Amino acid sequence: MRPVRKILGFLIIVFIGLPLLFAIIWAVGITKAAVSPEFVTELPQEIIAEFPDTIDEIFEEAQDEDVIEDKNTRAWFRAAAQVGTSPKELMRETGLLDWMENELSGTLEEVGDVLRGESRVRPRTLDLRPLKQALTHGAIDRYIMDILEKFPPCDEEGIEDWQQVITREEDWWDFPPCRPDPNVVEWALENKKALLLDDIDNEVEIFGDVNFWPFGISRTATLVSYALFLLPLLFIFLGSIIAATSPASFCRWFGISTFIGSLPVLIIALFARNVGTWMLNWMPYAESERWATGLEALVFEKTAWIQYAVLDFLFSPVLNLAVICCIIGILVIILSFFMRGETRARTVTVPAKQPAKEETISEEEKKEKPENK
C-alpha cells in the first residue's frame, strides 16, 4: 500500500504541481513588471527627459566617417549641421518637445498614480493630435529645404534616384545628396507626411470604463497573481501528504518539490536576461543590409540603456520570485531534519503468554484421599 501512495503522490506533484508552479512564477513575475509604476511611468519619463540630448548626440556623431560609413548618409548630417538649427531647437519650435514634456509626461504621471492606487481609475485618453501637428509643422519643411540648399543641383541620375527612393518609402538620409526641383521635394514631403499621419491615431485609450480596483491596478493585479500561488502549492501539498509517511518525510517531499519546481525558472530567467544583454551588446556590430549605413548601429548604441532597463524590469520580478521559492524549499528541507522519524512504523502485536494452569484440589477430594502414613 505504501509504494502505491508514493507513486500517486509523485505523479500528482510531477504532472500537476510542478508545471503549475513553473507557470505561475513566470505569470506573476511578468504581471508584476507589466503593471509596475516604475516600468509604465518612470522609465518613459526618463526617456522623454533624455530624448532631445540623445538626438543631438546622434546628429553630432553621425558626421564622423569612422561612425557612419555611408557617404550619402554622412553628407545629409553634415549639411544639417551647417544649417545651424539643432534637432532639440527644431523640436522646441514645432511643439514636439512641449507635447512630450507636458501632455505625454502628465498622462504618464496620472497612469502612475492610478497604478499605485493614489488615484481612482477613470476613462483616460492620450491626445495625439498635437503630436501629428508637430510632426507636420512647417518648420520641418523649412529645415529640410535649408539642408537641400547646401547640396549641388541634381543631374538626371540624381532626379531619377530621388523619385525611386520616394516610391520605396525610405528615410531622408537614403535620398541622394543633391538638390532636385522644388516640385520633387514638395512631392516627397507630402508623401512622407501622408505615410506618417496614417500610422498615428488621433487618440490612444489608456484606461477604459473600469470601476473595481480596490487597491489600485498595480496592487490588485499583484495580489490576484500572488493568490494564484495557492493552486500549485495545493497540489504539491496534496501530493506530499499522500506520499509522506511522517512529518519529516512530508517536509522533504514538499521542500524538494518546491525547490525543483522553482530552480528551472531561475535558470531560464537568468539565461534569457544574460542572452538578451549579450545580444544587445553584439547587435551594433552585426553585418547586414539593415545596418549597412552605420546610422542604425549609432542609434542603437545611444539608446541601449533603454533596452537594458526593459530587460531588467521584465526579468527581475521573475528572478526574485524564483529565488524566494527556492529558499522556501531549502528551508523546508532543513526543517525536515529536525522533525521526528516515522510515526507510522509497523507494529506487531505479540499475544501475551498464558500462565501455566495450576492443579487445584478441592477440600472434598482431600478428605476422600486416604492419608498415607
pLDDT digits (tens, 9 = 90+) for 118-165: 777 777 888 899 999 998 899 998 998 999 999 999 988 888 888 777
Residue 171 counted as domain residue: no
Q: What is the per-residue pLDDT for 373?
A: 40
Contact 189, 142 (CB under 8 A): no
Number of domains observed in the structure of the chain: 1
Q: Which residue has the higher pLDDT, 253 or 168?
A: 253
Residue 194 counted as domain residue: no
Residue 137 counted as domain residue: no
Q: What are phi and psi of 67, to 5 degrees?
A: -100, -50
Grid coordinates representing 317 are: 520580478
Residue 325 counted as domain residue: yes
Q: Containing domain of residue 98, as a range?
A: 2-128+201-339
CA distance 331 to 352: 46
What is the pLDDT averaged over residues 291-308? 80
What is the pLDDT averaged over residues 31-55? 87
Residue 368 counted as domain residue: no
Q: What is the per-residue pLDDT for 19?
A: 95
What is the pLDDT averaged over residues 170-194? 80
Beta-carbon contacts of 13 under 8 Å, excluding residues fewer than 6 positions away, are: 235, 236, 239, 240, 243, 253, 257
Residue 182 counted as domain residue: no
Q: What is the per-residue pLDDT for 191?
A: 80
Q: Which residue has the higher pLDDT, 216 or 317?
A: 317
Residue 364 counted as domain residue: no
What is the pLDDT averaged over residues 207-235? 74
Residue 192 counted as domain residue: no
Q: Does 359 have pLDDT greater than 70?
A: no
